[in-house]
């Protein structure tokens, strides 16, 4: 993905998108911006998304994408140009009925908004369903930020009841928060 940097130079970034399986519906999975991103990692995570959707009986397949970059080293303008450049490369292979990217490690709702905007420009059609995790003002969903946390709590509550565990006897450790 060639990107014009703020100093005028052109830097090329490696990006990936894997559509592992669409037997149950469109591919679905996040876009990761991480310095050590590789095709092998993305392929494995796309497969994991397939299985997560199948186990939860969600009518979607597995997909995952990524760009090998440390987003903390980019300015806002460079991030926007990288997001738009990534969509320039994959836009014909995504869409609400084909593959729906979402935010993941190193990406934000603002970045999803830029990606949706670029897709709209290239496709000639306003299609908010092409990307999830956008800001609410750009067609995103209320509660998206909190949804994962609520899902964990609801699942834990149901498991405790099903297994007849006394919650006062439980301890927990949290990893990856923040």
Catalytic one of 11, 28, 52, 64: 64
CA 11 to chain centre: 23
Query: Burial level of 11, CB count in 10 A (0-12/13-18/19+)?
Result: middle
61 bridge partner residues: 27
> Would residue 92 show up in a list of annotated catalytic residues for this protein?
no
Residue with token string 């830097």:
11
Please list the active-site residues: 64
């Amino acid at each position: 993905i060639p990107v014009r940097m703020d100093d005028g130079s052109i830097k090329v970034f490696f990006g990936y998108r894997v559509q592992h399986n669409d037997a149950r519906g469109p591919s679905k999975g996040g876009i990761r911006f991480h310095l050590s991103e590789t095709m092998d990692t993305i392929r494995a995570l796309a497969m994991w998304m397939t299985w997560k959707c199948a186990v939860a009986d969600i009518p979607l397949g597995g997909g995952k994408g990524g760009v090998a970059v440390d987003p903390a080293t980019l300015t806002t303008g460079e991030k926007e140009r990288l997001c738009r450049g990534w969509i320039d490369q994959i836009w014909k292979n995504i869409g609400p009925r084909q593959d729906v990217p979402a935010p993941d490690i190193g990406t934000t709702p603002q970045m999803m908004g830029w990606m949706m905007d670029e897709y709209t420009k290239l496709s000639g059609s306003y299609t908010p369903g092409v990307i999830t995790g956008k800001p609410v003002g750009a067609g995103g969903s209320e509660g998206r930020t909190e949804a994962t946390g609520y899902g964990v709590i609801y699942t834990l509550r149901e498991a405790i009841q099903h297994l007849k565990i006394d919650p006062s006897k439980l301890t927990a450790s949290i990893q990856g928060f923040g």
